Structure 1
Amino acid sequence: TIDKLMLSTCRNDQEDVLGDLLKEGSCDPNFVDGAGNTAAHYAAQFGSIGCLELLVNLDDIDFDVKNRLEGDTPLHKAVQHQSEDVPMAVAMVEILLEAGADPNIENRNKLTPITLVNPQNKELKELLEQ
C-alpha cells in the first residue's frame, strides 16, 4: 500500500520519494504498521533525518505515538540512535523536540527518552533536560 511505501522511504532515507508521496496527499503520516511504528519511528530509528524534517513540517502528525513492542515514541528511537551516530541522534532529538514531542513519556520499561541517554553524552542529556 501507499502507507507502507511511506514507511519504507523513511527506513531508507528516501526523502525525495517521501516528499512526492506527501505532496500527493495519498498517504497518512500517522499510519502505523503491525508493530505500531509510524513514519517518524522509522525515520528516527534509521537516522533518516531528511525524512524526519519533512514529517515535522506536517500539521496533523502525532509525534507521541507509542509503538506496541517497546512502547517507544519516535523520540525514544532518536535517542537510541546514539549507539550508531551521536551527532545524528542529537540532530533528530532537536528536530522532534522543536516539533513538540514529549520527552516525559515512559516506554514499557518505564524509561523516558532521557533515561536512555548514555551518561557520557552530555549534549543529548542537556537537550532533553531543557
Structure 2
Amino acid sequence: MADPRSQVEHEEEDGASAGELLIEACRRNNTDLLADVISSCGGEEKAAEVLNNTKTVLGNYIYHEAALRGNYEVIDMLLDQEGFECDPINTREGDTPLHSAIRFINSLPPTPPSPDNEPSAAYNLISMMLEAGSDASIRNKANLTAVQLLDPRNVELKRLFQEAAEEAEREREIAGLEAEEHEEEALEDDYAGSGSDSDFDPEEFKRQQEEKKKELAELKAAKAEA
C-alpha cells in the first residue's frame, strides 16, 4: 500500500502537471482526461503511485475530490485501477473518501422515494465504494465514522451501512472458523503421527470438527443468500 502521507512530484506536461490534471479530472468528472493521465504513467504500478499520492494544497487526495462532488463515473474508474487506495485520510478533517461522499450526499436536497423502489444515485455511489473496499469503521478527527456523519433521515443509506456491517461480520466469522478448522486439522495430524497415549479422543475431536464444518457451511449459505 502506498504511503498516503507522501506526495509525488510530477513532471510538467502541456503546461500542467500530471497531478494537476488528475485533480481537474476528478473535480470535473472527466473520465477521458483521467484515462489519458493513467495511460501516460507507464504501467499499473506507476499509475497507482500517482493516483494514491496526488493531493491538493488543502490536503485532499483525488478520491476525496471526486467523492465531495459525487462524481460516480470517475470514482468507478479510479476503483478499477490496480493498487488504488480506498481509504486515504485527508489533512483537515481526517476524513476518508467515504466521509467525503456522505458530506456531499448530506448537502443534497431531499428526494422522494422512487415509485419503482429503485435505489437512488446516492445509494449506488456508496454501495460501489463499500463493495470496492471502503472501510466504514474508520473515524475522522471528530471521532465520527461515515455513517455517523449521515443525515439520520436518510433511511436508505442507513440500511445500506447496516447491511454492509452485517456482511463484514459474517466475513470475519467465516475467516475465523476457517482458520480454526485448519489449526485443528493440523493438531489432529500431530496426534495421529505421534501415537500419543494421552486423553485425546480422536472420535470426540472428529465430532467437534464436523459440528464446526456444519456451522461454517451454514454461514457461507447465509452469505450466499444475503
Q: Structure 2 length normalisation: TM-score?
A: 0.54
Matched-pair contact (CA < 8 Å) for 2:21–2:33: no
Distance apart, 1:32 and its partner CA: 2.2
Residue 107 of structure 2 is aligned to residue 105 of structure 1: no
One-letter amino acid of the counterpart of residue 84, structure 1: L
Please give the alpha-carbon distance, in whole angstroms, between the structure 2 residues aligned to 1:53 and 1:90: 14
- Counterpart of 1:84 in structure 2 is 108
1:11 is aligned, of 23, 27, 49, to: 27
1:53 is aligned, of 76, 80, 94, to: 76
Please give the alpha-carbon distance, in whole angstroms, between the structure 1 residues aligned to 2:90 and 2:121: 22
SS at structure 2 position matched to 1:36: coil
Distance apart, 1:34 and its partner CA: 2.9
Matched-pair contact (CA < 8 Å) for 1:70–1:109: yes
Matched-pair contact (CA < 8 Å) for 1:79–1:90: no
Q: Which consecutive residues of structure 2, in runs of 5 or more, have no partner in the other structure?
A: 1-16, 112-119, 165-226
Please give the alpha-carbon distance, in whole angstroms, between the structure 1 residues aligned to 2:57 and 2:123: 28
Matched-pair contact (CA < 8 Å) for 2:29–2:71: yes
Distance apart, 1:24 and its partner CA: 2.1
Residue 90 of structure 2 is aligned to residue 67 of structure 1: yes
Please give the alpha-carbon distance, in whole angstroms, between the structure 2 residues aligned to 1:84 and 1:32: 25
Please give the alpha-carbon distance, in whole angstroms, between the structure 2 residues aligned to 1:18 and 1:75: 20
Please give the alpha-carbon distance, in whole angstroms, between the structure 2 residues aligned to 1:4 and 1:72: 21
Number of residue equivalences: 130
Matched-pair contact (CA < 8 Å) for 2:25–2:31: yes
2:51 is aligned, of 29, 42, 58, to: 29
Q: Structure 1 length normalisation: TM-score?
A: 0.91
Q: Which runs of 4+ in 1 moved over 4 A?
A: none
Q: Which piece of structure 1 moves more, 18-27 or 4-13?
A: 18-27
- Superposed CA RMSD in Å reads 1.6
Please give the alpha-carbon distance, in whole angstroms, between the structure 2 residues aligned to 1:7 and 1:128: 28
Matched-pair contact (CA < 8 Å) for 1:81–1:88: no
- Counterpart of 1:43 in structure 2 is 66
Bigger relative CO (Cα 8 Å, ≥ 6 apart): 1
Q: Which consecutive residues of structure 1, in runs of 5 or more, have no partner in the other structure?
A: none
Distance apart, 1:78 and its partner CA: 0.9
